[in-house]
């Protein structure tokens, strides 16, 4: 589409290019969860591109377009669906960052958002907040919506903190050396994931570095348009992750895709080259392992299990990892992988989306769980803490006992004794 985007924003060229490449064909509509739910053009990728274009062209006040841009999950399902190669993420992330600077939020919203931005990326703060959240839950009925949705996501009890060693040596002949990103939310809510990932890697001959100083990758902040803060927090990792590792492994989808976007995030910054070099080494756990190849065949399960693999949007759409996790799971004896309908549709987790847009998130979860149940699995596996939490909550709400595990945990469980 032609446009008259005039902006001196650093990201304007990428944003303009995304608009230019869009031919308004509508192929993205089929892939978009909010369009599927709401059925209105402005809640589709094509519609949002059109709205952002009009705001950037100063034809439309940003506030008018805002509700529809806010409803975008950022799941990126529209990107692989787009024949003309629109980098929707470049437009959306740039646009959100641009708007966030100018945006006036209502006081309670702003407070809730501030709380998110100041706690989630910091494991220690988040842990404290989560513990006090238990107190908050008692107050749930009297709290405003913005807080209610945040609190309802917190678990009833937190697992104990389990520190990991700074280095886990490779077992047997060394086949690789990696750094493992421990994440922020994940460290508090599910420390067992990193434990499992580190062990599986070590068993497969990979030396795993887990520097204590590491922190959040900043993706969660980037996702909501807090660009400055995202950069600050990301820089901390540049310093502490060894320069000589083969790869920087993530076990959460959003971290991986966010770190792969550092090039754009640091565009024009003094440390742009460093960010790019860092970013190029980032790879998801399942992709790294599938490429490396499991050293030994796994022992597998003692009896037949039907397993649904839940694709995280930021693995499937943003990083194109569809086959790798499936290949790993298919290698496990007595594990039967069953595909579900609409596997590419977001489960509603989407970073902080379940906090910002609880109703849409809840409906997406309901639909996702319905598709999963139709496949009659014994176990659900995912590569992303967000999806895992979202599904566990929806299962609990429906009084279902179906277990949900991270792929690293399943590989560890199925490993030879």
373 binds other proteins, rule: CB under 8 A: no
CA pair distance 262, 146, nearest whole angstrom: 30
CA pair distance 374, 389, nearest whole angstrom: 20
Site string for other proteins, 12-31 (x = CB under 8 A): --------xxxxxxxx-xx-
Kindly state the smallest distance separating residue 85's Cβ from other proteins, in Å: 5
Beta sheet of 206-209, edge-to-edge order: 167-168, 206-209, 176-180, 247-250, 282-284
Binding residue (CB under 8 A) for other proteins from 41, 100, 109, 246: 41
Residues 6+ apart with CB under 8 A from 135: none
Dmax over Cα atoms in the chain, in whole Å? 65
> Site residues for other proteins, window 67-96 (CB under 8 A)?
67-68, 82-86
Contact 49, 86 (CB under 8 A): yes
* Binding footprint of other proteins, residue count (CB under 8 A): 33
Binding residue (CB under 8 A) for other proteins from 11, 18, 33, 50: 50
Identity of the residue, 67 or 242, whose beta carbon is nearer to other proteins in the bound complex: 67
Rounded to the nearest 5°, which phi and psi values hold at 405? -135, 155
Parallel/antiparallel/unpaired status of strands 167-168 and 206-209: antiparallel
157 binds other proteins, rule: CB under 8 A: no
Binding residue (CB under 8 A) for other proteins from 39, 144, 159, 239: 39
Identity of the residue, 20 or 246, whose beta carbon is nearer to other proteins in the bound complex: 20
CA pair distance 73, 84, nearest whole angstrom: 21
* Per-position DSSP letters for 172-232, written without gaps between them: SS--EEEEE---SHHHHH-HHHHHHHHHHHHHTTEEEE--TT----SHHHHHTT-HHHHHH
40 binds other proteins, rule: CB under 8 A: yes
Identity of the residue, 68 or 301, whose beta carbon is nearer to other proteins in the bound complex: 68
Contact 368, 393 (CB under 8 A): no
374 binds other proteins, rule: CB under 8 A: no
Binding residue (CB under 8 A) for other proteins from 12, 60, 158, 338: 60
Kindly state the smallest distance separating residue 19's Cβ from other proteins, in Å: 10
**In 3-state terms, what secondary structure has residue 260?**
helix
- Name the segment binding other proteins (CB under 8 A); options: 46-54, 89-97, 274-282, 359-367: 46-54
Identity of the residue, 29 or 241, whose beta carbon is nearer to other proteins in the bound complex: 29
Kindly state the smallest distance separating residue 55's Cβ from other proteins, in Å: 9
157 closest CA partner among 139, 192, 133, 138: 133
- Name the segment binding other proteins (CB under 8 A); options: 34-42, 96-104, 129-137, 184-192: 34-42
Binding residue (CB under 8 A) for other proteins from 1, 128, 161, 243: 1
330 binds other proteins, rule: CB under 8 A: no
Kindly state the smallest distance separating residue 371's Cβ from other proteins, in Å: 13
Kindly state the smallest distance separating residue 61's Cβ from other proteins, in Å: 8
Ramachandran region of residue 348, left (φ > 0), alpha (ψ -120 to 50) or beta? left
CA pair distance 207, 199, nearest whole angstrom: 10
Q: How many of the other CB atoms lie within 10 Å of CB of 404? A: 21
Torsion sign, CA atoms 68, 71, 74, 76: negative
Kindly state the smallest distance separating residue 367's Cβ from other proteins, in Å: 14
Torsion sign, CA atoms 360, 319, 100, 115: positive
Binding residue (CB under 8 A) for other proteins from 33, 47, 225, 351: 47
Identity of the residue, 50 or 353, whose beta carbon is nearer to other proteins in the bound complex: 50
363 binds other proteins, rule: CB under 8 A: no
Residues of this chain that interact with other proteins (CB under 8 A) are 1-2, 20-27, 29-30, 39-42, 44, 46-47, 50-51, 54, 59-60, 64-65, 67-68, 82-86
């Amino acid at each position: 589409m032609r446009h008259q985007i005039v902006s001196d924003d650093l990201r304007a060229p990428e944003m303009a290019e995304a608009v230019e490449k869009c031919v308004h064909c509508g192929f993205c509509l089929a892939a978009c969860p909010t369009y599927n739910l709401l059925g209105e053009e402005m809640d589709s990728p094509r519609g949002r591109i059109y709205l952002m274009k009009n705001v950037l062209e100063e034809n439309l006040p940003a506030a008018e377009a805002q509700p529809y841009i806010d409803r975008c999950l950022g799941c990126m399902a529209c990107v692989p669906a787009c024949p003309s190669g629109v980098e929707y993420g470049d437009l959306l992330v740039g646009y959100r960052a641009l708007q966030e600077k100018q945006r006036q939020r209502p006081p309670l919203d702003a407070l809730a958002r501030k709380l998110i931005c100041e706690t989630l990326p910091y494991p220690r703060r988040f842990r404290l907040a989560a513990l006090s959240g238990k107190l908050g839950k008692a107050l749930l009925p009297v709290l405003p919506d913005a807080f209610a949705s945040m609190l309802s996501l917190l678990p009833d009890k937190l697992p104990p903190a389990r520190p990991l060693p700074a280095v886990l040596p490779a077992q047997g002949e060394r086949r690789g050396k990696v750094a493992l990103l421990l994440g922020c939310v994940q460290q508090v809510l599910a420390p067992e994931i990193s434990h499992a990932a580190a062990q599986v890697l070590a068993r497969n001959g990979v030396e795993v570095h887990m520097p204590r100083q590491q922190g959040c990758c900043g993706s969660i902040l980037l996702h909501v348009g807090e660009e400055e803060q995202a950069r600050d927090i990301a820089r901390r990792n540049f310093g502490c992750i060894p320069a000589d590792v083969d790869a920087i492994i993530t076990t959460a989808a959003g971290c991986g895709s966010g770190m792969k976007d550092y090039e754009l995030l640091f565009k024009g910054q003094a440390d742009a080259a460093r960010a790019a070099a860092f970013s190029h080494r980032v790879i998801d756990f399942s992709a790294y392992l599938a490429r490396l190849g499991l050293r030994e065949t796994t022992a597998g399960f003692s009896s037949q299990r039907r397993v649904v693999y839940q694709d995280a949007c930021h693995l499937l759409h943003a990083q194109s990892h569809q086959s790798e996790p499936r290949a790993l799971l298919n290698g496990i004896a007595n594990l039967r992988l069953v595909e579900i309908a609409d596997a590419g549709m977001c489960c509603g987790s989407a970073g902080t989306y379940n906090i910002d847009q609880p109703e849409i998130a809840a409906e997406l979860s309901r639909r996702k769980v319905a598709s999963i149940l139709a496949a009659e699995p014994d176990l659900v596996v995912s590569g992303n803490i967000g999806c895992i939490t979202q599904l566990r909550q929806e299962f609990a709400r429906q009084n279902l006992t179906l277990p949900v595990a991270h792929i690293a945990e399943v590989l560890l469980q199925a490993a030879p004794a």
